Chains A and B, each alone.
Chain A
Amino acid sequence: MSNNIQQPIYLDYASTTPVDPRVAEKISSHLKMDGVFGNPASRSHKYGWKAEEAVEEARSHVANLVNCDPREIVWTSGATEADNLAIKGVANFYNGKGKHIITSKIEHKAVLDPCRQLERDGFEVTYLDPDAGGCITLDSIKAAVREDTILISIMHLNNELGTLNDIEAIGSFARSRKIFFHVDAAQSTGKVEIDLSKLSIDLMSFSAHKTYGPKGIGALYVSRKPRVRIEAQIHGGGHERGMRSGTLPTHQIVGMGEAFRLAKEEMQADREHVANLHQRFLDGVNGIEEIYVNGDLDRKVPNILNISFAYVEGESLIMALKDVAVSSGSACTSASLEPSYVLRALGRKDELAHSSIRFSFGRFTSNKDVDHTLSILFHAVERLRELSPLWDMHLDGVDLDKVEWN
């Protein structure tokens, strides 16, 4: 792994990962005249056949990582499209069967927004709260199920907290009630094992760029046994057995295939590497007073560590950490001034939701990166607390909940 510290230090792997050099190599050999550049749908010449071969090989790598049949993999432009295709596809195909969908408040917007759209189209959606540790419980799903529930959509690994949901138990329950089960697995590939031959899951979304593959490519697993039908959302040519039309981007597909092949091969090493970094970070950061880890440590992956630094506002902390690339749990960074909806759903007080930072580690993070980040972090938190009237009040023993703010 790299020995030199690159500035700013990249600790935002949950947002996107750099492409693995071996993947980049594979991609570039599928672009130019002397490479496999053909259109996989061209049946009349060798360029097309070679491209189709490459696409099918990539499909089997993806299938292999999650132990399913390659024919169950449909290429999409990414996990967002896969989520849309799964949710709207099932809802539109089975709308005669029922109008109720269950999902959670901690889903990615790529799940929440299609659900909102379906509500406008006459569906009813239940948005479940997570437990205090950041997971969706089977009990809450059982309590929400209705006669007319047709789909449950729950993410595998939460992108802000790193918490895992028990998709095995939820799947078994959904299958027993003949409700389709979709899992957004954009964050989990290569981090935790997924065995679709054993899980009762009907649809699963994947992304390449969270697993050292390129952006702009993803896939949807569509179960064949039992068979789930979806209504296509993009029409034009009938590619991917009619489920997703559009010329297949050979270079991106082989990139995703190679990334997923490597993910399977190196999952154990990646996990050990990241677990060490996580422990190192946690040991160090525990030296700062008044911090709170968001998400249950026992039920999360070590790749993501979400911490609230009390009495310090997240956006200012990110500014003070300009030599480290991280994201704020607080959505202040985007257009809205709302604190993270995920942390809110956890029941965190607003000020703690405002003060959270997500650190995410990966294959190319080094111990040095962690150590350097910790020293920058100590300094920044100390300085910002010196500036914080809330920190003074805390030191003076004032209970902030009892203050009347104006």
Chain B
Amino acid sequence: MAYSKKVIEKFENTLNEPKKFNVGRFNPSDLDVGTGMVGAPACGDVMKLQIKCEPKGNSHVIKDVKFKTYGCGSAIASSSELVEMLVGKTLEEAKEIKNKDIANALELPPIKIHCSVLAEDSIKQAIDDYETKQ
């Protein structure tokens, strides 16, 4: 298991200080909350990402994020990395985040790229969910 230092650091920090790293959940039925859940237990990864947004100008801004992830160390680190990128972004900006951004930030090996893909899918789904509620 040759993990990059960045993955290990991110994983351990998230594990040791869950609150600081936005581990948790919002009420999914709140109108200002969008929820995305991707992956499957059988595949070894499930990511649940929730964004809390508020309107700002013509857009909506992500003011808080919570997540929970079941998966390998890279999957947990990928979610945590994504969450850090999201706070303060407009939904348009958030849609621009690509799996490559996460994979590069964490120096994910090729075999773990799917973790960053799942993370990208989770934000897309969360935004979809939020937008359908508006």
Chain A residues close to B by CB (< 8 Å): 311-313, 315-316, 318-320, 330, 332-333, 335, 337, 339, 349-351, 354, 380, 383-384, 386-392, 400, 405-406
Closest to B42 in A: A350
20 contacts between A and B (CB under 8 A): A312-B70, A319-B11, A320-B15, A332-B72, A333-B1, A350-B43, A354-B41, A380-B15, A384-B15, A387-B18, A387-B23, A387-B69, A387-B76, A388-B68, A389-B46, A389-B48, A390-B41, A391-B70, A392-B25, A400-B41
A316 lies within 8 A of B18 (CB): no
Closest residue on chain A to residue B23 by CB atoms: A387
Smallest CB gap from A390: residue in B: B70
Top 4 A-B pairs, shortest CB-CB distance: A405-B40, A351-B41, A350-B42, A389-B48
Is A406 a contact of B11 with CB atoms below 8 Å?
no
- Does A316 lie within 8 Å of B41, measured CB to CB? no
Q: Please state if B23 and A337 are interface contacts (CB–CB under 8 Å).
A: no
CA A330 to CA B70, docked complex, whole Å: 14
**Are B46 and A316 in contact, CB atoms less than 8 angstroms apart?**
no
B114 to chain A: closest residue by CB:
A337
> Would you call B39 an interface residue if the criterion is a C-beta within 8 Å of the partner chain's C-beta atoms?
yes
Residues in B1-28 with C-beta less than 8 Å from chain A:
1, 3, 8, 11, 14-16, 18, 23, 25
Give the residues in chain B near A316, CB-CB below 8 Å: 11, 71-73, 75-76
Asked, given contacts A312-B70, A387-B76, whether A350 binds B41 with beta carbons under 8 Å apart, the answer is: yes
Contact A354 B44 (CB under 8 A): yes
Contacts of B46 in A (CB 8 A): 388-390, 405
Question: Chain A's nearest CB lies how many Å from the CB of B22?
Answer: 11
In the complex, what residue of chain A is closest to B121 when comparing beta carbons?
A406
A interface: dominant SS: helix
Residues of B in contact with A (beta carbons under 8 Å apart): 1, 3, 8, 11, 14-16, 18, 23, 25, 37-48, 68-73, 75-76, 111
Q: Which residues of A contact B41 (CB under 8 A)?
A: 350-351, 354, 390, 400, 405
Contact of A386 among B18, B45, B72 (CB under 8 A): B18
Q: Which residues of A contact B14 (CB under 8 A)?
A: 387
How many Å from the CB of B53 to the closest CB on chain A? 20
A318 to B15 alpha-carbon distance, docked (Å): 13
* Given known A318-B1, A333-B1, contact A311–B70 (CB-CB < 8 A): yes
Contact B1 A389 (CB under 8 A): no
User: Once the chains are docked, how many angstroms separate the CA of A15 from the CA of B36?
Assistant: 40
Cβ A388 vs Cβ B39 within 8 A: no
Please name all residues of chain B whose beta carbon is closer than 8 Å to the beta carbon of A390 when the two chains form the complex.
41, 46, 70
Determine which residue in B11, B23, B42 has the highest number of CB atoms from chain A within 10 A of its CB, and name it.
B42
User: Given known contacts A384-B15, A405-B40, is B73 in contact with A319 (CB within 8 Å)?
Assistant: yes
Please give, as numbers and ranges, the residues of chain B lying within 8 Å of A351 by CB-CB distance.
41-42, 44
Residues of B within 8 A of A354 (CB): 41-42, 44
Give which listed residue, B16, B25, B40, B42, contacts A406 with CB less than 8 A: B40
In the bound complex, residues from chain B placing their C-beta under 8 Å from that of A405 are 39-42, 46
User: Least Cβ distance of A216 to chain B in Å?
Assistant: 24
State which of B8, B37, B45 has its C-beta within 8 Å of the C-beta of A319.
B8
Contacts of B11 in A (CB 8 A): 316, 319
